[in-house]
Amino acid sequence: MLVPVRCFTCGNLISDKFDEYQEKSQQSVGGSPDKILDELGIERYCCRRMLLTTVETIQQIIPFYEAMHRRKTEIQTEME
């Protein structure tokens, strides 16, 4: 799923901070994410959960769409 642009609860803009959050969390593997969220200035827990719980699944889904497209073109060539 793509990153939500705004917090579902309060409407605060969060998508602009997601890239920075991911970079910092990958750099400090094993570190606690609360310090990163404090550095980014995200104080409300509704906004914090948005960044903590977002999982980007687009890279895992793309191969399935590519396979579907390949199969569709195979069927179309068989029909001709």
Residue ranges binding Zn ion (CB under 5 A)? 7, 9-10, 12, 44, 46-47
**Hey, how many other C-beta atoms are within 10 angstroms of the C-beta on 77?**
8
CB of residue 11 vs Zn ion: minimum separation in angstroms? 7
CB of residue 19 vs Zn ion: minimum separation in angstroms? 18
Is the Cβ of residue 46 or residue 52 nearer to Zn ion in the bound state?
46
Is the Cβ of residue 12 or residue 22 nearer to Zn ion in the bound state?
12
**In sequence order, which residues have a C-beta less than 8 Å from that of residue 21 and are 6 or more positions away?**
33, 36, 37, 40, 51
Is the Cβ of residue 22 or residue 46 nearer to Zn ion in the bound state?
46
CB of residue 78 vs Zn ion: minimum separation in angstroms? 52
